[in-house]
A = this chain, B = another copy of it.
Amino acid sequence: MAIITLTSDWGDKDYYLAAVKGSIYRQIPDVLIVDITHKIQSFEMAQAAYVLKNAFPNFPDGTIHIIGVNSEESIDEPHTIAYFQKQYFIGTDNGVFSLLFEGEIPEKIIELDITQETESFTFSSRDRFAKAAVHLAGGGDLEELGRIKSEVNKRISLKPIHDKDRIRGVIVHIDNYQNIITNISKELLEGLVKKRSFQIQVRGGEINKISDAYGDVPSGTLVALFSANDLLEIAMNQGTAAPLLGVGVGDAVIVEIEEE
């Protein structure tokens, strides 16, 4: 049974979400719809990319992801389907694909060319994306959905700046526990630090080692570890790091490494 996921900024109070689900089930009863989240901040494409980027690798091959954020198209930012790592992504080519795939080029990119049944242009997720998803879920060819194009619109995501003794990254996400997720990857940090000692600095907080688990430090103490998506995370065991440090998305996180 094909899986279609939904990522949107529709919230969970209105009829939009149910309309899309009903419409999909009406066209193809034998499909599984999974909500990623509908609580993306209105129009926050980067947040949608962050959440979906971390969710999709868990899904089986062939999963179809609808991105219902900023779904109004224009000539420069057309409705698009990308095929990447054996999964399908349907959305508007406003940079979200570039953030989602971290600059990698998807195996196939199609500019969506299917007719909308209604005259209204305000609900593309139901009237175009769902239709494309149903086509794919029913085993239809990707190429039948439009014309192939060679690239997606680029949008640069912030990468940490570093020299051999210092990394300067930023906070990219605060999660539901108020844990702080940075853009400093495990690969970058471990590659630079090797066996040297180091100090992680975020606002007034300082941490000198990477732990395996929150509980490796006493309650109420800051802890650094790698998150489930292998990014440097600053948390507080049984506490809320972000409000206590007074930091938010975009704030700096520095790793100072002992000089060789």
Interface residues of A (CB under 8 A from B): 1, 3, 5, 9-23, 25-26, 29-30, 32, 34-40, 42-43, 50-60, 63, 72, 74, 118, 120-123, 126-127, 173, 175-178, 212-215, 225-230, 233, 238, 240
Evaluate whether A19 and B225 lie within 8 angstroms (CB atoms) in the complex, with A9-B177, A42-B176, A60-B25 already known.
Answer: no
- In the complex, what's the smallest C-beta–C-beta distance from A52 to chain B, in angstroms? 7
Contacts of A72 in B (CB 8 A): 213-215
Q: Which residues on the B side are within 8 Å of A227 (C-beta)?
A: 120, 122
Q: A22: which of B26, B53, B59, B173 is its contact (CB, 8 Å)?
A: B59
**B residues less than 8 Å from A63 (CB atoms):** 22
Chain B residues, Cβ within 8 Å of A39: 12-13
A-B contact pairs, 28 of them (CB 8 A): A1-B30, A3-B25, A5-B18, A13-B37, A13-B40, A13-B51, A14-B51, A14-B175, A15-B37, A16-B228, A18-B35, A18-B51, A19-B54, A20-B58, A22-B59, A26-B58, A29-B60, A42-B240, A72-B214, A120-B227, A120-B230, A121-B212, A121-B213, A121-B225, A122-B213, A122-B214, A122-B228, A123-B228
* Residues of chain B within 8 A of A23, CB atoms compared: 58
Assess the A176–B212 pair: CB atoms within 8 A: no
Assembly CA distance A41 to B178 (angstroms): 12
Once the chains bind, are A15 and B55 in contact (CB under 8 Å)?
yes
CA A215 to CA B73, docked complex, whole Å: 8
Tell which of B5, B52, B126, B213 touches A228, judged by Cβ atoms closer than 8 Å: B126
Roughly how many angstroms separate A143 CA and B217 CA in the complex, as a whole number?
Answer: 33
